[in-house]
Structure 1
Amino acid sequence: MTATDVRPGPVAAAVAKAPHPRRRLRFLPAVLFLVLLAAAWQLMATLLDFVLVPGVPAIVTEMVDIVSDGSFLDQLGITVLRVGLGFALAFVVAVVVGIAMGRNEFARRFFEPAVLLGLTIPGLVWALLCVIWFGIDLVNPVAAVALSSAPALMLQIYQGTRSVDPDLLEMAHVYRFSRRVTLRKLWLPALAPSLFAGARLGLSLGWKVIVLVEVFGMSSGVGYQLNNAFAAQNVAAVLAWTLLFAIVMAILEYGILQGLEKRVSRWRKAVSV
């Protein structure tokens, strides 16, 4: 019998494919937190017995109604489109400016005041200014999201650029890599952690700003629906839209961003082994 004839049996194969117990329980702390939060809210609503503090059943009923009548998907699609366009614009600009700041001292000193100014301006100000400047046009939410997200992205990419191993840059110079190859094979893999960290921060800022823009100056989107619920003093609807929005953010984080980050970072684990 040769080494190639030795194969794992069906039981061993099933054990190998079975998920690790820790992997199965990784969401348990988050679920426990949400259960305790819902229980605490329900206790508060019961003790206060106030119409403006709805209980968990009323909020869940409102969420089911919003999803079942189709309004949530329609309004969410509009909001996601606006955020996606604004974030894409901010991402492209931030990658170019962030790498330039990390590689060139003049560029760093030139763009540094803009980054610091952008980080200090509240999202509410960007929302109000873009509503004044662009009205209800699509440019309004796209510009607001881009202006609020770009500074944080630039800072993350700048810091990531400064941490790139100089030996890798020297190797690329010695072998005369083209700019395209250097960007694709060196900069993007090396900057992956900074890009994902910046993406999380930028998206979180973009979500907050887009809601403000839709509240103040748009006639559609999740923010517009929140404003309608607020005007009607429907606290259950306000909380329902907020929770549905948070669920979408959780799906984006755990279902997309973390999966992409693991795939991009596989080479780091392989190198460290």
Structure 2
Amino acid sequence: MRNLRPTSRLWALLGGLLMLLGWQLLALRLGPLLMATPLQTLDAMWRLPFEADFRLHAGASLLRIGLGVGLGCLLGFSLGLMAGLDARLRGLLEPLRWLLMATPPVVVVVLAMLWFGLGSAMVVFISVLMLAPGMYVNTVKGMLMVDRDLLEMARVYRFGAWQKLRHLYVPALTAPLGAALLIATCGGVRLVVMAEVLGAESGAGFALANARSTFDSAGLYAWTLLILLLVAGLEFALLQPLQRRMGRWQEPAHA
């Protein structure tokens, strides 16, 4: 099994090179007005930090992503904990959960624009509303996976609420919450950028829409690449180490 990891990395590297080659060939075929080449995109990306509005747009997007993902995950986790402990509350929230997960994000964007107008409140509201159900579902699933015999034992030994949460529920929640955090963070970036494209006056999405309207192909692809690098940085530098740390209790002890 240990030999599979280097092999998979080589194939991933090959896949990335093939994507770059395809990008280059497609850009040459479509022309600079429709698609910038990888080198043109990199050149434009290096120049982005020196532009006057870069800090404004980047800072606005990062703040919205932090608030949207943080509040959405916190809301979904809190409701999931309570619903996992109370079947009545779980049944009460089920129609709302289904409604939010079934509603297309574009519909939520349109409604949020009517309610909040343009700006950060609208973007954060959309992110929270779209991300909370996923965290809720994974939290409830983890709560229901706890062994009933362990819960009975905790009742016999008169475990308090904090002891149950720490020793029974948290270990059961590590796997689903790790996956939910990864999905929520990556999805949160996409939601924020989409909302900014459709109805914001600042942010990376606004910069993307502005580059599209001025036919700045290199700038458009530069912002897109910057967003992709942000998602990659969050996943590999923050979320994957967090997942490994949360899953340490599942690793077998070595003699």
TM-score, shorter chain, exceeding 0.5: yes
1:110 aligns to what?
Answer: 92
Q: 2:130 corresponds to which letter in structure 1?
A: S
1:163 aligns to what?
Answer: 145
Provide the alpha-carbon RMSD of the alignment: 2.4
Closer, same or farther: CA 44–264 of 1 in aligned 2, 3 Å: same
Asked if 1:184 is matched to 2:134, the reply is no
Residues 197-244 of structure 1 show CA distances to partners (whole Å, capped at 9, x for unaligned) of 111222233222211221233221111111111111122221111111
In 1, the alpha carbon distance for the partners of 2:254 and 2:149 equals 18
1:124 aligns to what?
Answer: 106
Q: Which has the higher contact order (CA 8 A, sep 6+)?
A: 2
Task: Specify which of 62, 65, 68 is matched with residue 86 of structure 1.
Answer: 68
The answer as to whether partners of 2:36 and 2:217 remain within 8 angstroms in 1 is yes
Residues 72-115 of structure 1 show CA distances to partners (whole Å, capped at 9, x for unaligned) of 55533321211211222222221222233333332222111111
How many residues of Structure 1 are paired with residues of Structure 2 in the alignment? 254
Asked if 1:222 is matched to 2:208, the reply is no
Structure 2 residues without counterparts, runs of 5 or longer:
none
1:262 aligns to what?
Answer: 244
Closer, same or farther: CA 186–70 of 1 in aligned 2, 3 Å: farther
In 2, the alpha carbon distance for the partners of 1:96 and 1:104 equals 13
Asked if 1:55 is matched to 2:37, the reply is yes
The answer as to whether partners of 2:60 and 2:202 remain within 8 angstroms in 1 is yes
In 2, the alpha carbon distance for the partners of 1:197 and 1:33 equals 24
The answer as to whether partners of 2:41 and 2:219 remain within 8 angstroms in 1 is yes
Q: Give the structure with higher Rg (CA).
A: 1
Please identify, of 184-193 and 258-267, the stretch whose mean Cα deviation from structure 2 is larger. 184-193
Closer, same or farther: CA 33–264 of 1 in aligned 2, 3 Å: same
In 2, the alpha carbon distance for the partners of 1:257 and 1:73 equals 25
Closer, same or farther: CA 186–77 of 1 in aligned 2, 3 Å: farther
TM-score (norm 1): 0.83
Map 1:37-48 onto structure 2 (within 5 A): 37-48=19-30
Please identify, of 162-171 and 146-155, the stretch whose mean Cα deviation from structure 2 is larger. 162-171
